């Protein structure tokens, strides 16, 4: 099974609709998702009305032309195979774009396969924003659909294709080097070091620190997140190394992960009962909590202060939180992942040079306003004294 997606920057709904309907006699297997009309003119009009709602953007997509292809099976009639392909296409739509406009038509012009062509609107029905779907999310939908087909439609005799690991991302030199030396390519070594650092870290600061121990450094270029190998000076994009790992690292750097359980919450949890093996027998060992506390060294004052800070972190939207975010926005305070709760977009802004320039400009404007206020007050005092 093959799934192919092609985007279009122009609202060419009528042209694509005419292309999908070119194979006459397959109307019984057409798909109309979130469409009220049945005739081509009314269907095209619905797509055009919905596309007119999109916000104007340079190189913005208006629609997608996507194809689902299956190889012909020997044990089923053509009508049975077409019916199953229609069901598979509907499963794909439900996972990929359940709220968008979708029109689909079946083609059988190839001797070895059947194709379902889909026209998908770039936005959901009645929405102005374009649907955002990352490469990783799109691939997950493809892989899960293929797994569903292999499990529930074995009579279609499809082979594993989408989920199969390939060396397509490697250069010929890397594949040849691995074949001759039996050693992994450099990119895979970098990915392993990033994976190790991610697993050993708990937050943004610890991730950056552990990456440094592995001779790696995070860099941001526009919307591209990557690592620099400090041994060679070479840059590696995280999305090129691994899409899933790139998403996980980006979330951790933004500080949007679920916070770990606080100390007061941990103490309320019942102490676990450990098993110890002694003289060939297993017995229950539960060390009293009070005894362990007496054996632990006293907490330093600095640790107590840090722990107090974690417990007293202001809630998002509170007066203190708003004040801290305003100070961060002006550049007067460095954001603390454990203390400052901000949105994902606010955290991402911290890495942009334009944002730092805006912070400097705000501080300059505030300083000028303060000077004007102080000058105004001094003038008023002078007038009062003269009277």
**What are the pLDDT digits (tens) for 154-207?**
999 998 888 765 444 455 565 565 566 655 567 788 888 898 888 888 888 888
Residue 104 lies in a domain: yes
Residue 41: predicted pLDDT = 94
When divided into structural domains, the chain yields a total of 3
Residue 304 lies in a domain: no
- Max Cα distance, the chain (Å): 107
Domain range for 189 is 185-254
Q: How far is CA 155 from CA 71, 76, 92, 115, 143, in A?
A: 12, 7, 19, 17, 19
Residues 98 and 139 in one domain: yes
Residue 107: predicted pLDDT = 94
CB burial of residue 42 (10 Å; 0-12, 13-18, 19+): exposed
Residues 231 and 189 in one domain: yes
Mean pLDDT (the chain) is 77
Residue 152 lies in a domain: yes
Residues with Cβ < 8 Å from 140, sequence gap 6 or more? none
Residues 236 and 136 in one domain: no
What are the pLDDT digits (tens) for 227-262?
Answer: 998 888 888 888 888 777 787 788 788 765 544 444
Q: pTM for the whole thing?
A: 0.48
Q: How far is CA 309 from CA 64, 256, 268, in A?
A: 50, 19, 20
Residues 37 and 98 in one domain: yes
Residue 81: predicted pLDDT = 95
Cα 10 to chain center, whole Å? 27
Residues 221 and 328 in one domain: no
Residue 214: predicted pLDDT = 86
Residues 203 and 327 in one domain: no
Residue 128: predicted pLDDT = 93
Cα 372 to chain center, whole Å? 46
Residue 337: predicted pLDDT = 60
Residue 220: predicted pLDDT = 87
Residues with Cβ < 8 Å from 3, sequence gap 6 or more? 66, 67, 68, 69, 92, 142, 145, 162
Residue 354 lies in a domain: yes
Which residues lie across from 123 on neighbouring strands? 130
Residue 120 lies in a domain: yes
Residues of the chain with pLDDT under 50: 166-169, 258-297, 299, 302, 304-311
């Amino acid at each position: 099974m093959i799934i192919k997606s092609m985007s279009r920057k122009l609202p060419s709904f009528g042209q694509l609709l005419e292309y999908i309907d070119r194979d006459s006699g397959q109307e019984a297997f057409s798909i109309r998702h979130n469409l009220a009309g049945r005739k081509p003119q009314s269907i095209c009009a619905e797509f055009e009305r919905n596309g007119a709602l999109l916000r104007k953007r340079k190189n913005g997509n208006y629609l997608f032309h996507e194809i689902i292809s299956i190889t012909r099976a020997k044990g089923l009639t053509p009508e049975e195979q077409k019916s199953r392909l229609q069901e598979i296409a509907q499963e794909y739509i439900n996972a990929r774009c359940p709220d968008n406009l979708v029109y689909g038509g079946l083609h059988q012009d190839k001797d070895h396969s059947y194709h379902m062509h889909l026209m998908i609107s770039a936005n959901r029905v009645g929405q102005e924003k374009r649907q955002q779907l990352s490469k990783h999310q799109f691939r997950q939908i493809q892989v899960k659909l293929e797994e569903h087909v292999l499990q529930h439609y074995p009579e279609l005799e499809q082979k594993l294709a989408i989920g199969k690991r390939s060396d397509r991302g490697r250069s010929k030199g890397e594949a040849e080097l691995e074949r001759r030396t039996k050693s992994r390519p450099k990119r895979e070594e970098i990915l392993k070091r990033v994976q190790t650092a991610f697993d050993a870290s708990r937050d943004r600061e610890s991730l950056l620190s552990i990456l440094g121990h592995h001779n790696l450094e995070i860099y941001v270029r526009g919307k591209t997140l990557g690592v620099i190998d400090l041994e060679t000076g070479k840059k590696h994009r995280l999305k090129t190394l691994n899409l899933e790992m790139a998403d996980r690292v980006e979330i951790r750097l933004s500080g949007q992960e679920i916070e770990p359980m606080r100390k007061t919450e941990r103490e309320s949890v019942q102490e676990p009962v450990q098993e110890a093996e002694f003289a060939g027998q297993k017995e229950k060992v539960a060390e009293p909590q009070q005894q362990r506390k007496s054996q632990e060294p006293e907490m330093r004052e600095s640790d107590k202060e840090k722990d107090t800070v974690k417990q007293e972190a202001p809630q998002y939207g509170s007066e203190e939180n708003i004040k801290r975010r305003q100070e961060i926005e002006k550049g007067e305070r460095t954001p603390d992942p454990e203390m400052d709760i901000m949105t994902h977009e606010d955290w991402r802004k911290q890495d942009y040079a334009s944002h730092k320039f805006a912070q400097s400009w705000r501080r300059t404007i505030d300083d000028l306003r303060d000077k004007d206020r102080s000058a105004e007050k001094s003038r008023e005092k002078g007038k009062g004294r003269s009277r």
